[in-house]
Chain A
Amino acid sequence: MLKNTINVIAVVCLVTLGLFIYHTYFTTKVVYIDIPVVFNKFEMKKELQEKYKGVEAGRKRIIDSLGFSLQLLANKLKENKTNKGLMYEFDTRREEFFKRKNQMQEDNVALSTQYDKQILEQMTQYIIEYGKKNNYDVIMGADGTGTLMYANSKLDKSEEIIVFINKKYKGIE
């Protein structure tokens, strides 16, 4: 009786060991993340977005102020259409206004691109570190464009990764 029990336990253990070895060494560990969710919840993105909004608002104030003074000048010109000096000043300031406006729009795009690059670079780095730390073979990115058509939600590591990358960014981890 005792011998049989030991045999059964031994078989169970052997199967468990086999499964463990198979699972550890012969299966590919694949998980996925929802890229927009992770990106939007990344602290660096939130911080730089705030910074960008501040810079953009500051530039907008300058343009609004230039536009306002141009509008005043236009009103003056309406009342005094024959004043050549005023017309010249208006043309010069209008040119300056559009030049500054275009320049600031270009600067906004450049700043946004620069911040996106910085965010993606750090986010990617921390996701690599997360993958290595947790022994994942593949981390796929779902972005709703069809690169990942279906995956069991159990494999979704977005929330876990958000916690990890935010700790990495803050220098806590």
Chain B
Amino acid sequence: MNKFNYILFFLLMFFLESCRRDTADNDLEKNTQHLSLSNTHEVLPVEEFVKWVGDKENGLSKIKEISEMNYHLSYMPKECLAYMELKNDNLTKSKFDETLAHYEGMTYFNLRIELKGGQGELLKYNLSSPQQYNERINYMAFEMQKDIFLVQGNDTLMPGMFHFERIYEVAPFATVMLAFDNKKFNPESEFTVVYNDRLFNKGYIKYNYKQKQLIDLPNLSGV
């Protein structure tokens, strides 16, 4: 009986020791897992594919937390955009393929600026004067695109498409959609998307995408 207890004790020790892993090792393991997941080219239905892309664990949707703000940058594959456009309609293969064709040639991202635990409209946060609200709206609609760019090697590329999604209801976040012309950079190589935040004065916010990260996606099983 005593020996049994000792063995049990040893097993407990091994268990505890195995739990006590260095966080860095855990992260490395996690990264390897993600890499292997994306490299398996698993086949997913379109709804699952959209969820997979939005899952931060898979590295396509990134978040940067700076003080009271969260900055989310999400890569939006054309399949996601087509699905979002059609999900409330009758989603058929032909319609899906047709919509998909509209999004060819560009690499799309969604940038969402969010006030952490915030209430009320983001653009009304910490206003120094009433007219600053209008200035912020104008900035987001017309000026902000000059503060977002993609860096690949020594090249800097400005967005070929930019759209501020104006939310008239009270929401503690603001979203912009942007896209870069695939002819002007290589989406398969490493690049960094940079946003110079002049809205809340947080400076350069960078998001790095590794080589082949945008193409190592699960396959669609069909619509």
Chain A residues near B (Cβ < 8 Å): 3, 6, 9-10, 13-14, 16-17, 20, 24, 44, 47-48, 114-115, 117-119, 121-122, 124-125, 129, 133-135, 169-172
The answer to whether A169 and B206 touch across the interface, beta carbons within 8 angstroms, is yes
When C-beta atoms are compared, the residue in chain A nearest to B192 turns out to be: A171
Q: What DSSP secondary structure best describes chain A's contact surface?
A: helix
Picked from B6, B67, B192, B204, the residue with its CB within 8 Å of the CB of A44 is B204
Picked from A3, A16, A115, A125, the residue with its CB within 8 Å of the CB of B66 is A125
Within 8 A of A (CB), among B54-71: 62, 64-67
The answer to whether B20 and A118 touch across the interface, beta carbons within 8 angstroms, is no
Within 8 A of A (CB), among B177-223: 192-193, 201-208
B13 interface residue per 8 A CB criterion: yes
Query: Chain A nearest CB: distance from B11 CB in Å?
Result: 11
The answer to whether A13 and B66 touch across the interface, beta carbons within 8 angstroms, is no
The answer to whether B62 and A171 touch across the interface, beta carbons within 8 angstroms, is yes
Query: Chain B nearest CB: distance from A117 CB in Å?
Result: 7
Known A121-B67, A171-B208; judge A44-B203 contact (CB<8 A): yes
B131 interface residue per 8 A CB criterion: no
The answer to whether A20 and B16 touch across the interface, beta carbons within 8 angstroms, is yes
List, sorted by A's number, 7 A–B pairs whose CB atoms are closer than 8 Å.
A6-B3, A17-B12, A20-B16, A20-B20, A125-B66, A170-B206, A171-B64
Known A125-B67, A135-B23; judge A172-B208 contact (CB<8 A): yes
Within 8 A of A (CB), among B1-33: 2-3, 6, 9-10, 12-13, 16, 20, 23, 27
Highest count of chain A CB atoms <10 Å: which of B3, B6, B27:
B6
Query: Chain B nearest CB: distance from A25 CB in Å?
Result: 12
Chain B residues near A (Cβ < 8 Å): 2-3, 6, 9-10, 12-13, 16, 20, 23, 27, 62, 64-67, 192-193, 201-208
The answer to whether B192 and A115 touch across the interface, beta carbons within 8 angstroms, is no
When C-beta atoms are compared, the residue in chain B nearest to A51 turns out to be: B204
Known A16-B13, A24-B20, A171-B192; judge A47-B66 contact (CB<8 A): no
Known A10-B6, A134-B23, A135-B23; judge A170-B203 contact (CB<8 A): no
**Which 7 residue pairs across A and B have the least CB separation, nearest first?**
A118-B203, A171-B206, A171-B208, A171-B207, A172-B208, A125-B66, A13-B13
Q: A170 contacts which chain B residues (CB < 8 A)?
A: 192, 206, 208
The answer to whether B16 and A114 touch across the interface, beta carbons within 8 angstroms, is no
Picked from B10, B27, B67, B205, the residue with its CB within 8 Å of the CB of A13 is B10
The answer to whether A118 and B202 touch across the interface, beta carbons within 8 angstroms, is yes
Query: Chain A nearest CB: distance from B35 CB in Å?
Result: 15
When C-beta atoms are compared, the residue in chain A nearest to B204 turns out to be: A44
Known A121-B66, A125-B67; judge A6-B6 contact (CB<8 A): yes
Q: B192 contacts which chain A residues (CB < 8 A)?
A: 170-171
Picked from A119, A129, A172, the residue with its CB within 8 Å of the CB of B203 is A119
Q: B20 contacts which chain A residues (CB < 8 A)?
A: 20, 24
The answer to whether B206 and A125 touch across the interface, beta carbons within 8 angstroms, is no
The answer to whether A118 and B10 touch across the interface, beta carbons within 8 angstroms, is no
New A-B pairs, 6, CB < 8 Å, besides A10-B9, A117-B201, A129-B65: A6-B3, A6-B6, A10-B6, A17-B16, A133-B23, A171-B208
CA distance A14 to B8 in the complex (A): 12
Q: A9 contacts which chain B residues (CB < 8 A)?
A: 6
The answer to whether A48 and B23 touch across the interface, beta carbons within 8 angstroms, is no
CA distance A157 to B66 in the complex (A): 22
When C-beta atoms are compared, the residue in chain B nearest to A48 turns out to be: B203
